[in-house]
Amino acid sequence: MGQTNGTLKPKAVEDLMRMTDFNDKELNQWYQEFQKDAPKGHLSKSEFVKMFRNLFPESDPSQFADHVFRTFDVNKDGVLNFREFIIGLSLTLKGTFDEKLFWAFKIYDVDGNGFISQSELNEIIAAMLALCRTKFPAMLAEELILTLDKNNDGQVSWAEFRKGVNENESLTKLLKEALDCVTPA
């Protein structure tokens, strides 16, 4: 990513402003913070988890941070550069509900096959419980599969997930609460 002494080059700022909901001042502030955690210009998964621990000191965010890292690491090279980091951060902090919903779907789709299984939901819900220290319904994964899996094939596609959440007010509320919990303030 283009940089000059702790700030981004104007071309990089313009590019990132088109791709995110951050303005130039915010991008440069985030870049300076990113450099503190990533002096090499990228974050490894362990560095990202450490950063997440600092954001959530009262809980265990490591499992959930692994999944966030997976969704942010778009090129799957095992590190986050500033571009990947800031685009992911913009989505989680400033995205529309539909954008956040798609991000949630990608988080739940652990194996990346385009479908969510009950075991994947169990894994993510356990990670969210460790992070949020909140009480989601004990049978949440099973209830979600039963509610969202309209064709009864044991897995939930993006179309089923989006439609099911948007048509079920209590599920929408629950997902919004979950997204609020896992997004640093």
pLDDT (tens digit, 9 = 90+) per residue, 138-179? 557 777 788 889 999 989 999 999 999 889 888 888 777 777
Q: For residues 13-30, give the mean pLDDT.
A: 95
CATH class of 97-182: mainly alpha
- pLDDT above 90: percentage of residues in the chain: 54
Q: Is 155 helix (H, G, I), strand (E, B) or coil?
A: strand
Pick the closest to residue 104 from 137, 134, 48, 148 (CA basis): 148
What does pTM read for this prediction? Answer: 0.85
Q: What is the pLDDT of residue 4?
A: 46
May I ask the CATH architecture of the domain 11-94?
A: Orthogonal Bundle (1.10)
Pick the closest to residue 62 from 119, 129, 122 (CA basis): 129
pLDDT at 185 over 60: no
pLDDT tier at 110 (50, 70, 90 boundaries)? very high
- Name the segment(s) of the chain with CATH classification 1.10.238.10: 11-94, 97-182
Higher pLDDT, 1 or 115: 115
H helices present in 61-183, as ranges: 62-72, 82-94, 97-108, 118-132, 140-148, 158-167, 169-182
Non-local CB neighbours of 130 within 8 Å, separated by 6+ positions:
59, 60, 61, 62, 63, 64
Which of 76-80, 88-92, 136-140, 141-145 is predicted with the least confidence, judged by mean pLDDT?
136-140
Q: What is the pLDDT of residue 138?
A: 55
Pick the closest to residue 75 from 42, 49, 98 (CA basis): 42
